[in-house]
Amino acid sequence: MGRRVIVIGGDAAGASAASQAKKRQPELDVVMFERGRATSYSACGIPYWIGGTVGSEAELIARSPDEHRAAGIDVRLRTEVTSIELDRRVVLWRDVQGGGTGAEPFDELVYAAGSVPMRPQVPGMGAAGVYGVQTLDDGAALRAELDSGRVRNVVVVGGGYIGLEIAEACRIRGLQVTVVDRSATPVGTFDPDIGAFIADAVRGVGIDLVLSDEVVAVQTNSHGRARAVVTASGRELPADLVVLGLGVRPNVGLAQQAGIPLGTSGGIAVDVRMRTTVDGVWAAGDCVESRHRLSSQPVVVALGTHANKQGRVAGINIGGGYATFPGVIGTAITKVCDLEVARTGLSSQEALAAGYSFVTASVDSTTKAGYFPGSQPIRVKMIAERRSGRLLGAQVVGRQAAAKRIDALAVCIWNEMTVDQILSLDLAYAPPFAPVWDPVLIAARKAFEAVEADVDHL
């Protein structure tokens, strides 16, 4: 028997690590435990499946368990790892359906247990009819509830990315939907002026927003099911269904019990090669902390993009190669109703917290030449460091092919470009795709002018 690698978690990070390690060293004995019933699926696509944009669950699965098995990976579905015994180098497992138990030895371990939905500690939050949406099984359970015909009123707790995507999916189904969020504008990682656009778009499709408020209790009926949500301001919102959209936290319980150290962010501490401080133990995905390249602070960012990259890095290294994960800059994008929103780098609040002094510039433009049919409004905001002009952050909001402009700005931030350098970029132009001055270039010009004006006043 070859060297044995145990992988805990069969989605993005775990499956990528298992695949890379096995590909590079076919003699490895790779066992991948997955508590759910699917591997390598798109959790980010679940809201679109619930809303009907994606036709079937199968479309969300990038690589099935059988495909992994055909590549030589021993996939154990519906099997939960219950304990990691580092001194004996074994994991203990339990069959979720049958209840059987067992132990598997390992030479190397990949911890890729992902994340779990944040659940506020308020009365009634554990009642029937309260759902988190993190795994494919979660999505299937929520969809079955929505298909039951007994749901008319939905309350989404939290106005972040997932919360708003689920709210829209429920609204598409013709349900009455209310989103409750403690912030003054939804998606708090955006600056308030951009958040205001998001709020208008959400209200525009008939979703009620209760902002600057929070849930303090879930009331239940005589059968123990959710019937209403109570907020701190005293509102009582009818709720046949409650969906948690407060974000996620790293699923690190097993790691903590085993003595695998966490970082200050709450995620598992790893180096650039995805190694923990325990010899032979690796970690990747939503459960680990990463270095933010601008703030230099450890952060946990739960995105499939990073999970796949981190899993790949771990797998390459386990397989005898060499790879590193260089960090994150906070790039994110979503569609809120018919509005596209995206961000990269630091928000104004994050830049302040990181100790930067900065100027900001915002421009309103169009996605195509103004005279071209189908041209839509777009706003681009830039945050630049004082004096140096280095781009620290950017946010984009608009319609129809607006938000993917964030990728160009993410590349600029990654390479530490200044706004005057961005101003000179050779970006593509044709009337069907952009004005002669692309909104990115206009924003860079305004940001450069703000940097110059700031220097003049020193």
Q: How far apart are CA 109 and CA 67, in angstroms?
A: 22
Structure token digits, residue 128: 């029937």
Three-state DSSP at 430 gives: coil
Q: How far apart are CA 347 and CA 330, in angstroms?
A: 9
Q: In what helix (H) or strand (E) does residue 422 lie, and over which residues does it extend?
A: helix 419-423
**Catalytic annotation present for 44:** yes
Q: In what helix (H) or strand (E) does residue 226 lie, and over which residues does it extend?
A: strand 226-231
Three-state DSSP at 341 gives: strand
Range 86-92, long-range pairs (CB < 8 A, 24+ positions): 86/258, 86/259, 86/260, 86/278, 86/281, 89/280, 91/6, 91/8, 91/33
Q: How far apart are CA 104 and CA 242, in angstroms?
A: 39
Identify the CA nearest to 378 among candidates 411, 409, 345, 405. 405
Gap between the terminal Cα atoms of the chain: 70
Q: How far apart are CA 67 and CA 69, in angstroms?
A: 5
Beta-ladder partners of 262 = 268
Instruction: Please report which residue ranges of 173-261 form alpha helices under DSSP H.
Output: 192-204, 253-258
Please tell me which residue in 44, 170, 337, 412 is annotated as part of the active site.
44
Residues 6 or more apart in contact with residue 85 via CB below 8 angstroms: 91, 92, 258
Three-state DSSP at 280 gives: coil
Cβ atoms of 426 and 420 within 8 Å: the answer is: no
Q: How far apart are CA 61 and CA 70, in angstroms?
A: 16
- Burial-class residue 144 by CB neighbours within 10 Å (0-12, 13-18, 19+): exposed
Residue 99: C-alpha distances to residues 74, 91, 138 (Å): 20, 16, 21
Active site residues: 44
